[in-house]
């Protein structure tokens, strides 16, 4: 088999940045991640949605910070030196995701990802694009387009 006829595997595999929220593990496509920052106290904004902690100054750019735990219907992240802000970009939207800790970078075949079950009772399910199991751990893959709706970014 020559190099030209070898199967291309890039499209069959995806790299994910995994992180923790409480006792649960989530991930996002690493291509959406711009940087990982240490905890910075956000300046609150009046009338912002409850899951928007406020804004921070990111090298002269005002960046909304989303408390991902609140967005997913969980208890809020404490917001201290142990936490991190994952700066993500989806299309023209850029925001910071406040999480407990970054875990790992994973390279997984798309074939190992499964669609989440359709559970209308669980609000966080609509934010999950896929599920996968890595070393016995269930990892939820977030749909950032749903997690960062346009109106939330505009409100910040």
pLDDT tens string 59-82: 999 999 999 999 998 998 887 888
Question: In this predicted structure, what is the pLDDT of residue 155?
Answer: 47
From the number of C-beta atoms within 10 Å of its C-beta (0-12, 13-18, 19+), residue 6 rates as exposed
Please tell me the pTM assigned to this model: 0.84
Nearest residue to 79 (alpha-carbon basis) of 64, 63, 67, 95: 67
Band of pLDDT at residue 51, cut at 50, 70 and 90: very high
> CB count, 10 Å around CB of 72?
22
């Amino acid at each position: 088999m020559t190099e030209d006829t070898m199967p291309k595997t890039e499209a069959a595999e995806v790299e994910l940045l995994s992180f923790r929220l409480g006792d649960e593990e989530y991930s996002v496509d690493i291509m959406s991640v711009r940087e990982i920052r240490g905890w910075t106290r956000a300046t609150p904004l009046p009338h912002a949605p409850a899951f928007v902690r406020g804004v921070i100054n990111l090298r002269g750019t005002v960046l909304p910070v989303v408390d991902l735990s609140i967005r997913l219907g969980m208890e809020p992240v404490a917001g201290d030196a142990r936490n991190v802000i994952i700066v993500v970009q989806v299309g023209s939207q850029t925001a910071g995701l406040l999480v407990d800790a970054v875990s790992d970078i994973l390279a997984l075949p798309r074939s190992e990802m499964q669609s989440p079950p359709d559970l209308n009772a669980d609000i966080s399910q609509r934010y999950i694009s896929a599920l996968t199991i890595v070393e016995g751990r269930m990892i939820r893959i977030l749909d950032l387009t749903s997690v960062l709706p346009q109106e939330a970014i505009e409100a910040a």
